[in-house]
Amino acid sequence: MTPTRAPRRRLAGALLAGVALVVLGLAALAVVLIALGALVPGLGPLSGYATITVPGYGPTLVVVGLVVVLLALVVRLRLRRAGTVVAVLGGVGTVALGVVVGLVVSAAGQAGGSVDLVRAVDPHGGGSVPDGYPQYGTGPDGAPLHAAVYRPGGARGPVPVFVYVHGGGWVGGSELDNSADMRWFADQGRLVVSVGYTLATRDRPTWDLAGAQVACALAQVAALAPGQGGDPSRLVLSGDSAGGQLAVSVAYHAASGTQASACGGRVPVPRGVLVQYPAVDPAGAWEEGRVPGDPGNAARGFQEAYTGGTPEQVPDRYTAVAGVPAITPAAPPTLVLAPTDDELVPPDGVAAFVDAARATGVDATLVRIPYANHAYDIGGVSSLGNQVRRSVSQAWLGARGW
């Protein structure tokens, strides 16, 4: 080797190590910031982003952090001081994020669920095509209302019936949402039906319509379930966010005999209610709710579109769709999954609803999901959050034969 080539190679090696160290440093910093945002609430957008990221990609980032530490130790052989700093930074962030992920897994275990962390490292997406897509009614403008049906695979005898009401702030979403989860619940031995309803607009509030449509769908599902292999005596009504509000309202009012149906007739009382981050305190959400990552008051638009005004303008409507006023001792057993860092549906309102239900004698269970924000479960079918949602739900349903 000539004397001139050796310095050039050393220089090239140093430059390459420097570039690698910059990349590793940025990755280490990202892991640290996400861990910090999750562990320290109230850091604004950082905390909001972290509590969205942890349930979706927390285990993935722990693996990234471990790789960063290992590669930084290699680079440290050439750039000792800088490599040490990056390795320590990555190590601290990885340990902290690992603790956060561990606490989420622990919370799931305490609620009867479980998490496969190996699968959670690759939180892939996915979807499923329903086995049937019948029309069950029409909206006020004549638009068809559909239900997506997922039949159980290989089940023998009448199976439990799981009716799901989608979220979307009452203004968006579809009965075709969360199709992978609907298929999963069906594969556990249930007849699953996801129902649609008329979406609200600024010119057409649906506070007195959407619930009646869900009640109509519920009655039709109960009537048709035996022909599809379902057992209507083991019917559970479920929903997320706005759909959680509708599920609670319809089930609880059906139990007290006060729920109207858009297609008339008696509304069956579900055996159980299973909801996630339900908007059971719309007035509280109007006052305190925020769209994750948005410091403004965009969340108020959901409640105002649904009710047709603010809590001051139409207080009776907010009361009519709230959870606490619907509670009676006849309400069915209820499981509520609530992320502790929910920005859109404030956790205090959800907890107050569960406390009020318990005080009235309802078998109500609140499972808090730590370091998680609204819609914590939609990061991928095998994500940390979605595994928590599925496994805890399955444990609660399975223990009751539903």
pLDDT digits over 15-50, tens only?
676 777 888 889 999 999 999 999 998 888 899 999
Please report the pLDDT score of residue 299 as a whole number: 81
Query: Which residue in 47, 194, 241, 249 is the catalytic one?
Result: 241
CB atoms within 10 A of CB 334: 28
Please report the pLDDT score of residue 11 as a whole number: 54
Please report the pLDDT score of residue 262 as a whole number: 96
Whether 350 and 311 have beta carbons less than 8 Å apart is answered as no
Positive/negative CA dihedral, 106, 108, 114, 120: negative
Record the tokens describing residue 87, joined without a space.
């390795």
Please report the pLDDT score of residue 156 as a whole number: 77
- What is the pLDDT averaged over residues 385-396? 98
Round to whole Å and give the CA distance between 116 and 364: 27
Please report the pLDDT score of residue 295 as a whole number: 60
pTM of the model: 0.93
DSSP code for 277: S
Please report the pLDDT score of residue 293 as a whole number: 62
Please report the pLDDT score of residue 25 as a whole number: 87
Please report the pLDDT score of residue 339 as a whole number: 98
- Helix and strand tally (H, E) in the chain? 12, 8
Burial 364-399 (b: 16+ CB within 10 A, else e): bbbbbbbbbbbbbbbbbbbbbbbbbbbbbbbbbbee
Q: Is 182 exposed, middle or buried (0-12, 13-18, 19+ CB in 10 A)?
A: buried
Catalytic annotation present for 261: no
- Helix or strand (DSSP H, E) at 109: helix 80-110
